[in-house]
Amino acid sequence: MVKRAPGKVDMEKLVSLCKRRGFVFPSSEIYGGLASCWDYGPLGVEMKNNVKRAWWRKVVQERDDMVGLDAAILMHPQTWVASGHVESFADPLSDCKSCRQRWRTDDIKDGRCPACGGELTEPRMFNLMFKTFMGPVEDEASVVYLRPETAQGIFVNFQNVLNASRRKLPFGIAQIGKAFRNEITPGNFIFRTREFEQMEIEYFVKPGAEEEWFQHWLKERFQWYLDLGIQPENLRLRQHGPDELAHYARDCYDVEYLFPMGWMELEGIANRGDYDLRQHSSPPEADSRASGGSGKDLTVYDEESGQHILPYVIEPSAGVDRGLLAFLLDAYHEEEDKDEIRVVLRLHPALAPIKVAVLPLSRNEKLVPLAREIYAQLRRHWMVQYDDAQSIGRRYRRQDEIGTPYCVTIDFQSLEDKAVTIRDRDTMAQVRVPVAELVEELRGRIEGD
Ligand code: ATP
């Protein structure tokens, strides 16, 4: 048995909460759903944006050696030849001769079908890239791919970014965007899907400086999850063994989270050497579909040595959806409170979809104007919900369950003393605060480090 932190949730409970409260829905559900595709609901889209914002803030906004990029999903097909994806981005696939189920051969330990024990076919390689056609003619010449990673959009723009932003080594380019992989065995909710979002960094350094920067990024990226509230006992770094390393990687670590299915990858951090820029600058070959790059010079002029050098690359590559799943699982707690079970998402305020709930004690018309005024004022700063339905206790519970860090309650006393109550999600402690100081008080709690 894998040890779980106290209050850990099983996946079904989380899937159910996500659907009920509007975090994540099965895709096209009215048509019976589409395997392994999920849609983010009103709260899910807020939280997902918060995860991306927290990442962007940390790796772009707060650093002076990083810039951003947003490349197209469709790229010149030769990109995927040069990167090695056409040739080798494939998993071995076997079919069961009895029940016809399809399996990723890597996942099968004893050579027989996990569903019925039947005999399996010899593995054949299956390329994970989604293909489509560009333009009206569906032939080989019009094939394009949906990108299986965002990274290549960064490499092909390396010279553009370098020239436009007048950077010197070391510097990095960050990108967030959708990626697509025709996974053989998707599953575990949003952990492995065929359409997902990545947050990737390519950090370019002088050859010789790669180990120092590799260590830097390992530390930075591990700490990011802890700073956003992941419990340290549920997070670890694991180095890839020599048999696991991708052909381009010199070294690689995974940041792993203790999911209900066990320790699994959240983010990979790889030392890619100069593999990518070398591939993309290699000369186009006569039969360009076989191999070959752009033939463009992707070196950087180094003033110190007076030489043109091909940078080395450190790549921290994270999944938005996997990160969001880990943040939700880690935040989920069930607690006993007055003979009831209180479900509470202890999300970091930066990630919580709703930062504040405004709750008039009742629908009494005397309370409404002040409550509405406070609601309007707070919405200028954060995502805020107004809730006046049912008892105040029920309303606190509803906010706890979606991770809202603070509730502001307006009562009859508020009309006299122009003060309201702030209730803390985690401690359930309540303090009285003058309305005039409410925004600053909440700002300190929500945005303070
Ligand atoms: P895995 O071994 O789980 O298939 P990977 O090593 O192929 O992942 P990378 O190519 O390193 O993954 O991609 C970087 C990150 O993108 C992963 O750490 C993960 O967070 C995310 N990711 C990759 N594939 C998927 C997927 N099918 N669904 C959701 N997220 C994914």
What is the tens place of the pLDDT at every residue in 46-96?
999 999 999 999 999 999 999 999 999 999 999 999 999 998 898 889 999
420 within domain boundaries:
yes
Please say whether the beta carbons of 356 and 442 come within 8 A: yes
For the chain, what is the domain count? 3
Q: Whose CA is nearest to atom 21 of ligand 1?
A: 319
Distance CA 222, CA 236 (A): 8
322 shares its domain with 287: yes
Return the structure tokens found at 59. Answer: 């790796």
User: Which residues span the domain enclosing 133?
Assistant: 11-89+128-328
Angle at 12 between CA 11 and CA 14, to 5 degrees: 65
Average model confidence (pLDDT) for the chain?
Answer: 94
What is the DSSP pairing of strand 406-410 with strand 356-360?
parallel
pTM: 0.94
Distances (CA, A) of 172 to 70, 181, 353, 429: 14, 25, 29, 44
Per-residue model confidence as pLDDT tens digits over 390-428: 999 999 999 999 999 999 999 999 999 999 999 999 999
Task: Verify that 195 and 255 share a domain, yes or no.
Answer: yes
Looking at residue 29, its pLDDT comes to 96
Please check the confidence at residue 438 and state whether its pLDDT lies above 50: yes
pLDDT score at 19: 98
Residues 49-60: tens digit of each pLDDT = 999 999 999 999
Averaged pLDDT for residues 196-211:
98
Q: Of residues 92 and 170, which shows the higher confidence score?
A: 170
Same domain, yes or no, for 385 and 244?
Answer: no
CB 229 within 8 A of CB 348: yes
Answer whether residue 383 is part of any domain: yes
> In testing the pocket of ligand 1, which one of 149, 150, 152, 196 has its CB within 8 Å of the most ligand atoms?
196
| Lowest pLDDT segment from 76-85, 145-154, 333-342 | 333-342
Q: Which of 265, 315, 321 most suits a substitution to test ligand 1, by most atoms within 8 Å of the C-beta?
A: 265
- Is the residue at 339 inside a domain? no
Q: What pLDDT does 3 receive?
A: 38
With respect to residue 337, please indicate whether it lies within any of the assigned structural domains. no
Ligand 1 centroid distance, CA of 265 (Å): 7
- Whole-number pLDDT of residue 435: 98
Q: Is the pLDDT of residue 1 over 80?
A: no
- Please name the residue whose Cα sits nearest to atom 6 of ligand 1: 268
Q: Does residue 150 have its Cβ closer than 6 Å to ligand 1?
A: no
Residue whose tokens read 């969001």: 324
**What CATH number is associated with residue 149?**
3.30.930.10
How much distance in Å is there from the Cα of 135 to the middle of ligand 1?
A: 30
Q: With cut-offs at 50, 70 and 90, classify the pLDDT of residue 5.
A: very low
For residues 44 and 146, membership in a common domain is answered with yes
Of 328, 363, 383, the domain-final residue: 328
Q: What pLDDT is attached to residue 185?
A: 86
Flag whether 392 is in a domain.
Answer: yes
